[in-house]
Structure 1
Amino acid sequence: MNRTVVITGTTSGFGRDSVRLFASQGWNVVATVRKETDLAIHDDLPNVKTLLLDVNDEGADTAFAEQAAARFGGIDALVNNAGYYHMGPVEAASMEQIHDQFQTNVFGLMALTKAFLPHFREQRSGVIVNISSISADQGYPYTAVYAASKAAVAAFSEGLNVEMADFGVSVKAVFPGAHATRIFTKIDQAGDIPEDYQSGMQRFFGMQGTGSSPAVTAKAIYQAVTDGRIEQVRYYTGPDGVAVPRVKRLLGADWYWEEFRNAATGNPSDLWKSLVTQGKEPVEFAL
């Protein structure tokens, strides 16, 4: 019997590419979208059923979990992909924006996960994959609120991985680096940004590359679901996503942070330029 995965936030980017990858590998897919106008987005894939879900509507999650399980007779995996991106100096962010960032990326994710946990626990199997971010491993300036929400996702995934181990259920987190997805065209930007921040923002975002294809992260999500490594939590993807933990191992956390901070404030060292380059894997460096 074909296995079944639920994937949230599937109109573009990681979500859409993941739907197509799982479907191509013979999986049944329950894909979620927020708008009725998007319900036909996967109609070309016969083993995909698209359902409406707003991950911020926590009251709908239990009924959705039951509906999703009924579509194909069970659920083998859940991919919590839906999220959004708040950008700007913390000073300029409204508390409403900060709460909204955590509501979608953290509380909505937790609520949906809770709705599926009884199903996985009772069947003594299942994989939950949560989308975190490389910024969860080290906070980036001007995206500190977003990074904090993704750090919460990472810690939640690690704790829940151990919590569910007795039931044969694995919980994992994928840490993408910069990717060319539509999340960056749907930025919730802080308003009334003081002029003092403009040069720093231009400098920092000027350091960022365009990113790799979302298909790269879709492959990492598929690997996390299918590799059978119940104890592994963290999966890094994209050139900078892979580079950050590697460079941290090379330099140690304190030295790495010093190098990153210097680079982000406009004073990158020659060592930093050698280790982290735009769109390339870091070189091996003898220390």
Structure 2
Amino acid sequence: MTAKTVVITGTTTGFGRDSVELFSAQGWNVVATVRKDADLDVHDHLSNARTLLLDVVDEDADAGFAQLALEQFGRVDALVNNAGYYHMGPVEAGTMSQIHDQFQTNVFGLMALTKAFIPVFRQQGSGVIVNISSISADQGYPYTAVYAASKAAVAAFTEGLNVELADLGVSAKAIFPGAHATRIFTKIDQAADVPEAYLPGIQRFFAMQGGGSKPAVTAQAIYEAVTDGKDNKVRYYTGPDGTAIPRVKQLLGADWYWDEFRNAANGNPSDLWKSLMPQGTEPVEFDV
């Protein structure tokens, strides 16, 4: 039986790297992308992986990448849009350049690459597209509002795409990770010159974050989304808070949940909130 092939973007660390390892271990061929020449050897220990340069911000490169990916193993069965960018800070303090960069990577680059692969999947009558969203797409967080907005765009895009591609035999799905102990938190693009009035709120909010789960937890969810055959399922939640938030919102209702979240974000979590929101086991450090 011919091995299937998955394309995964942003694979130097975190979800992407763990996903490459997992798919490879399961017998898949993997086309992995990195942004820097220095990282091209990151997957050299895997005989069924090919590592290619791609900066998803470059829409022209995205448009031609599908053909290059096809040339590696002769077929592509799944695309995982994992590459991401994290801008943090009060909206007032962020620059419009940072806001545009946030959407260029997380939304427009993702859309451009997806557009490049849809004809491949349409012509072969099969394929799975998995986009990495965030639990903040369901729950907009302060001081990362622009990031949350970009991930909400990814979620809505994926849901529309799921229905749009159904008649073609192609499925689109989204992963909603909660807090995870990945290097994205050491690569934050922070707003500069934050007014002092925001600092107490920032400290309160990030103090309530607790821990996060290991990237392998989300890698497993990505693998499940690609392989479970559930074409009608769009949303996959991972991590302690990622899985808890939709359940708590359903339990409490939108208005009550919002009151609980807002109080917690302001440093006054209720006993109910503490009991319903489990903590992860891996520390997450925010440089604020």
Q: If the TM-score is normalised by the length of the shorter chain, which range does it land in?
A: over 0.9
The 4+ residue runs of structure 1 with deviation greater than 2 A are: 277-280
**Structure 2: stretches of 5+ with no match in the other structure:** 282-288
Name the SS for the 2:92 alignment partner. helix
Taking the aligned partners of 2:197 and 2:278, their CA distance within structure 1 comes to 28
Moved more, 60-69 or 238-247: 60-69
User: 1:64 is matched by which residue type in structure 2?
Assistant: F
Taking the aligned partners of 2:39 and 2:274, their CA distance within structure 1 comes to 43
Name the SS for the 1:82 alignment partner. coil
Q: How does 1:1-287 map to 2 (within 5 A)?
A: 1-279=2-280
Cα shift readout 1:9-56 (whole Å, capped 9, x = no counterpart): 000000000000000000000000001111111000000000000000
Equivalent residue number for residue 286 of structure 2: none
**Structure 1: stretches of 5+ with no match in the other structure:** 281-287
Name the SS for the 1:75 alignment partner. coil
Taking the aligned partners of 1:219 and 1:279, their CA distance within structure 2 comes to 17
Calculate the TM-score normalised by the size of structure 2.
0.96
The alpha carbon displacement at 1:266 in A equals 1.8
Cα shift readout 1:209-247 (whole Å, capped 9, x = no counterpart): 231100000000000000000010000000000010010
Taking the aligned partners of 1:234 and 1:240, their CA distance within structure 2 comes to 15
User: 1:175 is matched by which residue type in structure 2?
Assistant: F
Calculate the TM-score normalised by the size of structure 1.
0.96
Taking the aligned partners of 1:277 and 1:62, their CA distance within structure 2 comes to 42
Contact 2:62–2:109 (Cα < 8 Å) also in 1: no
The alpha carbon displacement at 1:262 in A equals 1.1
User: 2:123 is matched by which residue type in structure 1?
Assistant: E
User: 1:20 is matched by which residue type in structure 2?
Assistant: E
Moved more, 245-254 or 5-14: 245-254
The alpha carbon displacement at 1:90 in A equals 0.4
Contact 2:240–2:278 (Cα < 8 Å) also in 1: no
Name the SS for the 1:91 alignment partner. coil
Taking the aligned partners of 2:156 and 2:39, their CA distance within structure 1 comes to 32
Root-mean-square deviation (CA, aligned residues, Å) is: 0.8
Taking the aligned partners of 1:204 and 1:130, their CA distance within structure 2 comes to 27
The alpha carbon displacement at 1:84 in A equals 1.1
Q: Percent identity?
A: 78
The alpha carbon displacement at 1:270 in A equals 1.9
Taking the aligned partners of 1:22 and 1:96, their CA distance within structure 2 comes to 36
Cα shift readout 1:232-270 (whole Å, capped 9, x = no counterpart): 000000000001001011101111111101111122222
Taking the aligned partners of 2:7 and 2:278, their CA distance within structure 1 comes to 36
Name the SS for the 1:162 alignment partner. helix
Name the SS for the 1:145 alignment partner. helix
